[in-house]
């Protein structure tokens, strides 16, 4: 397993206590929410218990009032009964609302409600019977009604006991849940504090051990930077010397070439009447070779400098740049150059892009023997770069030469047919690659050629 770099290990060690703190805070918030929820349910259960006890008390008060009235014939004793008649429906509705989320308790209430109503009906019948008999002693009919009332009360009490038993079960369950939440919170708190402390001590030890290494690495980095600065200065000096040497060599080579060209022209002018056709042709060929050699030397200079000279980036309108290039190349009247679609406007180095486009368009014109020669220029957006395409309807390039033509000094046509140094496409390739792009072509012999290259935005 590869060893993590020191920076990543340090970040990891620092992240552990931070993560522990986050977990602790989150756990505390979660426990508070769960505790609040558990408290709410506990209070809810206690409220249900209170309402059920009130209902039971009202039923008992109703019977007590009826019995007191029977004994004393004092209507004041009926007040608890009358108050119970008014409050019992509201208490039943309150219990329904409180247990609406509990199907089992709803079933219990559905059984309790008719029994409560039945008990109240029995008490009402007792009062009616008492009004008829108008006596203080219990008649057999009244005794039977009181016994029936007692039976109904026992049924209601049993149903309410079952109802309250379920509420007690829920209350205990919710209290247990609350206790579990508190236990989990305590365990989480202790664990995260322990991990945080361990991580803190490990981090301190790690940084103590790493301090010396970091100082050594800093010293080594200073030495490396110094060495790189010296190397860069040497390279700059060497490049300047190379440029100067190349210029001197090209000047020394071009001087005799110009002398040869001038001499051939003077000879032809001085001996014009004495030269035969063959000698005149040879002098013309001599000058052509001189011009080719001159162009060859210029090409070598451009190739040696391609990509090394940097210029400031400016906003370039590619459409305007293409118009300038086409105008400077001055293609034949019958030759068509078409710019397809919108061209980008972006910030880049102007001269390198101009050299690439000019060279590719120039080649498309020079090596096109089609009487209706045509070049089409396209561009497409490729996220971080633009992809340019220069397509012509010329003679095409065999597949076996698709890589070779980008090599220096390579030409497909004989230099007797087309004047060429064989350096142009190698310069183009070097410029494109130095700009971070790539260049390739698609072509079949006799079917034209399309050069593609990408240019970073």
Q: What is the pLDDT of residues 418-447, one digit of tens each?
A: 445 567 898 899 999 999 999 999 998 888
Longest dimension (CA), the chain: 174
Task: Supply the pLDDT for residue 151.
Answer: 83
Measured CA angle at 418 (ends 431, 297), to 5 deg: 50
Residue 222's CB: how many other CB atoms inside 10 A?
10
Task: Supply the pLDDT for residue 411.
Answer: 62
- The answer to whether the beta carbons of residues 293 and 271 sit under 8 Å apart is no
Q: Which residues contact 119 (CB under 8 A, 6 or more apart)?
A: 59, 62, 63, 149, 152, 153, 156
Least confident of 57-61, 260-264, 397-401: 260-264
For the chain, what percent of residues have pLDDT higher than 70?
Answer: 85
pLDDT reading at 49 higher than 90: no
For the packed helices 277-305 and 424-434, what is the interaxial angle rounded to 10 degrees?
Answer: 10
pLDDT band of 156, cuts 50, 70, 90: confident
> Cα(119)–Cα(124) distance, rounded to whole angstroms?
9
pTM metric for this prediction: 0.43
| Highest mean pLDDT pick, 69-78, 231-240, 296-305 | 69-78
Task: Supply the pLDDT for residue 417.
Answer: 46
DSSP per-residue string spanning 251-305: HHHHHHHHHHHHHHHHHHHHTTTT--HHHHHHHHHHHHHHHHHHHHHHHHHHHHH
For the chain, what percent of residues have pLDDT higher than 90?
Answer: 19
pLDDT band of 81, cuts 50, 70, 90: confident
Query: Quick one: DSSP state of residue 193?
Result: H
**Average of pLDDT values for 287-291?**
74
Helix (H) or strand (E) holding 79: helix 79-98
> Cα(49)–Cα(57) distance, rounded to whole angstroms?
12
Q: Which residues contact 222 (CB under 8 A, 6 or more apart)?
A: none
Task: Supply the pLDDT for residue 245.
Answer: 63
- The answer to whether the beta carbons of residues 348 and 454 sit under 8 Å apart is no
pLDDT reading at 122 higher than 60: yes
**Average of pLDDT values for 165-186?**
82
HEC profile of 378-438: EEEEECCEEEEEEEECCCCCCHHHCCHHHCCCCCCCCCCCCCCCCCHHHHHHHHHHHCCCC
Comparing 214 with 363, which gets the higher pLDDT? Answer: 363
**Average of pLDDT values for 351-362?**
92
pLDDT band of 312, cuts 50, 70, 90: confident
Task: Supply the pLDDT for residue 416.
Answer: 46
């Amino acid at each position: 397993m590869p060893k993590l770099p020191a920076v990543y290990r340090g970040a990891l060690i620092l992240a552990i206590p931070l993560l522990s703190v986050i977990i602790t805070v989150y756990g505390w918030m979660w426990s508070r929410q769960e505790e609040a929820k558990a408290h709410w349910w506990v209070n809810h259960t206690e409220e249900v218990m209170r309402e059920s006890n009130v209902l039971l008390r009202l039923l008992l008060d109703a019977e007590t009032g009826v019995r007191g009235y029977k004994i004393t014939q004092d209507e004041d004793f009926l007040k608890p009964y009358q108050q119970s008649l008014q409050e019992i429906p509201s208490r039943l509705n309150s219990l329904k609302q409180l247990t609406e989320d509990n199907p089992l308790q709803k079933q219990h209430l559905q059984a309790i409600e008719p029994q409560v109503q039945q008990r109240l009906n029995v008490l009402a019948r007792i009062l009616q019977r008492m009004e008829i008999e108008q006596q203080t002693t219990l008649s057999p009919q009244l005794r039977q009604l009181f016994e029936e009332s007692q039976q109904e009360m026992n049924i209601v009490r049993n149903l309410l006991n079952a109802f309250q038993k379920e509420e007690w079960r829920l209350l205990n369950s919710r209290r247990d849940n609350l206790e579990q939440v508190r236990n989990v919170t305590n365990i989480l708190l202790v664990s995260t504090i322990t991990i945080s402390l361990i991580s803190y001590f490990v981090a301190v030890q790690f940084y103590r051990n790493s301090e010396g290494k970091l100082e050594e690495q800093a010293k080594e980095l200073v030495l490396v930077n110094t060495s790189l600065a010296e190397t860069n200065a040497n390279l700059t000096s060497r490049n300047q010397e190379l440029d100067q040497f190349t210029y001197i060599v090209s000047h020394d080579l071009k001087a005799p070439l110009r002398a040869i060209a001038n001499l051939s022209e003077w000879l032809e002018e001085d001996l014009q009447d004495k030269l035969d056709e063959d000698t005149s042709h040879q002098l013309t060929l001599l000058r052509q070779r001189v011009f080719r050699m001159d162009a060859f030397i210029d090409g070598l200079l451009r190739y040696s400098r391609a990509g090394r000279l940097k210029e400031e980036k400016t906003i370039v309108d590619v459409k305007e740049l293409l118009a300038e290039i086409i105008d400077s190349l001055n293609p034949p009247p019958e030759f068509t150059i078409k710019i397809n679609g919108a061209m980008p406007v972006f910030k880049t180095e102007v001269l390198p892009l101009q050299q690439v486009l000019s060279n590719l368009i120039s080649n498309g014109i020079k090596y096109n023997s089609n009487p209706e020669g045509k070049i089409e220029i396209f561009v497409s957006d490729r996220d971080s770069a633009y992809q340019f395409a220069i397509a012509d309807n010329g003679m095409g390039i065999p597949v076996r030469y698709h890589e070779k033509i980008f090599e220096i000094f390579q030409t497909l046509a004989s230099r007797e047919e087309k004047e060429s140094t064989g350096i142009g496409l190698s310069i183009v390739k070097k410029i494109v690659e130095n700009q971070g792009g790539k260049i390739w072509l698609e072509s079949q012999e006799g079917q034209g050629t399309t050069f593609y290259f990408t240019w970073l935005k």
